[in-house]
Structure 1
């Protein structure tokens, strides 16, 4: 007696991979004078990678105390405010 094992369902949907395209080789290097990372192509020319911005983020806690300090009582409240600043990158 032989047993039949069906092929996995997805194999009927498979097809050949698309043709690939050669991707140029880029190499990161460190400029010895400025200590800035540069990217160069196969010919040794510097490749411009576009602008990259920076950002800062901060969490500012706030806390309130009840009354004027002369007598106890009242509810306290606390929360925080988050700030996020991002510069413009070219």
Structure 2
């Protein structure tokens, strides 16, 4: 029986790991019934801090649109939203 090797797609040779691959920093996750948050523990059962997550904040932006020739500008109105991400 003869087998034919299927060539690997050319783009796969360009794929690399972006982050180092390793074991997770935790061994188990349980839900704390009081705070309703996840509690991460290592293999010894000690609680592991998993870091903080960023917070997004959306703010409205306003602009003044003018009237026709010879007319006064119109009042400011909210016409767009901007999302800003910051870390905790």
Larger radius of gyration: 1
- What TM-score results when the alignment is normalised by the length of structure 2? 0.46
- Report the structure, 1 or 2, having the larger strand content: 2
The alignment's TM-score, normalised by the length of structure 1, stands at: 0.45
